[in-house]
Amino acid sequence: MASFSSLGIGSGLDTATMLEQIKAGEQTRLKPYTLLQTSYKSKISAWGQISSSMSALQTSVKSLSNDAFNTLTVSSNKAFSATATTGANADSHEVTVEQLAMAHKIKTEGVDSADDAQGEANNGIRTVTITTGSGDSAKTTTVELKDDETSLNQIAKAINKQDGGVSASVQRTNDGYQLVLSSKSTGSDGKISVKVEGDDKLGDMLNTSAGGRPVNGPDNGDGMYLVTEAQDAKLKVDGSSYTRSSNNISDIISGVTLQLKAVSEDNKSEQLTMTRDTGAIKTSVKDFVEKYNALLKMTTAASKYVQNDTSGLKDDQVATQNGESGALMGDSTLRGMVSELRTAVNGTYGSSDADITSLADIGIKIDAATGQMTLDESKIDAAIADNPDGIADMFMGRGTNEGMAVKLGTIITKYVGDPDTKTDGLIKTSTDSLDEQVKIMQTQLDKTQKLIDAQVERYRVQFSALDSTMSQLNSLQNQMNGLLSSL
């Protein structure tokens, strides 16, 4: 748009100021759209904060649905360690480690140089096939070597490039350079066999089918020597014997992974003890109270109503919403969400004859006006000591009786969705609608601004024409005055 500064020169009128005033008056047409857009953005921001707080509460509620009451303290043992998951039960077991699983390892006879060719120079291709395990679970690694690719270093490089079931290295020993093949799997599932085709000389060095020639034992026909035998883990749990290919075993005790570390001393068993961690119950309950209170505080602020100030308004004026009111004041979705949450936490759960059926029974008092929770730590300590199963039933439910955490979880998912199942909630629906309104308001603002700019430009052109006309009239008047004065 052209500058206003040159206006008024010809006419002597302050048309530049007049045009600025006209423009300012026209800009007021944007205010309704700006106010609406700001309101929508404030609502989106408020929902974002509430959604974040709801998600934090959702995490806490999920803990009270399972983990808080299934966290176990596991004993420390010498021959093994154990990790308990949510599927484990508080119990004790007798465990004896009789043998550790070992990975199969074999080596070649020593040679003078790791870079000298070990195969025949027959201008052909030889194939080295390395197999780990047997049957359907067998893994095969195949490498093809040219005449100038049969040194130990080149063989090791070719094998490792395939990233198969074995790793290869070249080691310098007192007996010379040796190619060492190590299985990546422990136990009999990782037993290595090697077969060379197309090169008898290299085959004599590498062919191995019986697990490797014993260093100080009889010749079994294998080209490579045994370093470590493929060995399964053997153990006893509660008197029953088990054989596994790995030292990490998770299919014997439900919900427990055993990590075998050493053979049991004197073949004596050690006791694995898993006890319920009652500290996890209190920690989870305290976290729940904290997260719930934070959410209620946030929803109260977002829905707060402050009466409009109508003093000084004329009869034809309408009061605007008080700026101290919450961004979501009167929002039906928020009102419904808070109502459902407060109803759930004030409810009773479990069988009617149970000792613990509500939050009040474990020391949580709920303010009737604000909905805020207050935790009596001495009372919850006593409840945890006396009846942890009763607390678990109240939160988790038992049989056909729904628990509080389960009910709260359903409500929270309804509003914020669930990232685990990739579902959206009502809050997402609300914010998506608000986002659309923000875009609509921006479109209206852009359109109205163009109309304002066009209107102001029309006035500028008219004022400019007025200046030109007045300038011409003033010039004519001066000429007439000059002519008359000469008569």
Query: Rounded distance, CA 95 to CA 268, Å?
Result: 9
Residues 487, 343 share a domain: yes
In-domain check, residue 187: yes
Residues 181, 132 share a domain: yes
Contact 149, 164 (CB under 8 A): no
Residues 429, 282 share a domain: yes
| CATH assignment at residue 354 | 1.20.1330
Query: Rounded distance, CA 385 to CA 383, Å?
Result: 5
In-domain check, residue 317: no
Residues 19, 139 share a domain: no
Residues 126, 22 share a domain: no
Q: What is the DSSP letter of 256?
A: E
**Reduced to 3 DSSP states, what percent helix, strand and coil does the chain have, rounded to the nearest 5?**
45, 20, 35
DSSP labels, 163-177: T-SEEEEEEEETTEE
Residues 89, 60 share a domain: no
Residues 64, 23 share a domain: yes
Residues 250, 383 share a domain: no
Contact 427, 58 (CB under 8 A): no
Residue span of the structural domain in which 216 resides: 103-228
Tokens linked to 345: 């936490």
Query: Rounded distance, CA 273 to CA 410, Å?
Result: 35
Q: In total, how many domains does the chain have?
A: 3
pTM for the predicted model, two decimal places = 0.62
In-domain check, residue 314: no
Query: Rounded distance, CA 110 to CA 225, Å?
Result: 10
Based on its alpha-carbon atoms, the radius of gyration of the chain, rounded to whole angstroms, reads: 42
Residues 414, 437 share a domain: yes
Boundary (domain end) residue, out of 228, 252, 285: 228
pLDDT per residue, tens digit, the chain (487 aa), is 444 444 444 455 677 788 888 888 888 888 888 888 888 898 899 999 999 999 999 999 999 987 788 788 899 999 999 998 877 888 999 999 999 999 999 999 999 999 999 999 877 899 999 999 888 888 999 999 999 999 999 999 999 999 999 999 999 999 999 999 999 999 999 999 999 999 999 999 999 999 999 988 888 999 999 999 999 999 999 999 999 999 999 999 999 999 999 999 999 999 999 988 888 899 999 999 999 999 999 999 998 877 766 566 665 555 556 567 888 888 899 999 999 999 999 999 988 788 999 999 999 999 999 999 999 999 999 999 999 989 999 999 888 889 999 999 999 999 999 877 888 899 999 999 999 998 998 888 889 889 888 888 887 888 778 777 777 777 777 778 777 777 6
Tokens linked to 484: 């008359």
Residues 340, 463 share a domain: yes
In-domain check, residue 319: no
